[in-house]
Amino acid sequence: MSNPASAYVWDGARGPQYTNYAFRMSEVPLPATGLLLLGALGGLGLLRRRRGTI
């Protein structure tokens, strides 16, 4: 995991109240997401090609 990040939220309904939400962002493995994207685009291309010939 990478370094923690923080977000400050202002709640205007009850006046100025600042809350610190700390969370961690995980790294996304790029090769796996690239393969998923290519597979999805290929599937959409095949679906469009099939519908075009009907």
Query: What is the token pair recorded at 19?
Result: 């809350």
CB 17 within 8 A of CB 10: yes
Per-residue pLDDT of the chain (54 residues; tens, 9 = 90+): 445 555 666 666 765 566 666 777 777 677 878 889 999 999 999 998 887 654
Q: pTM here?
A: 0.40
**DSSP, res 40:** H
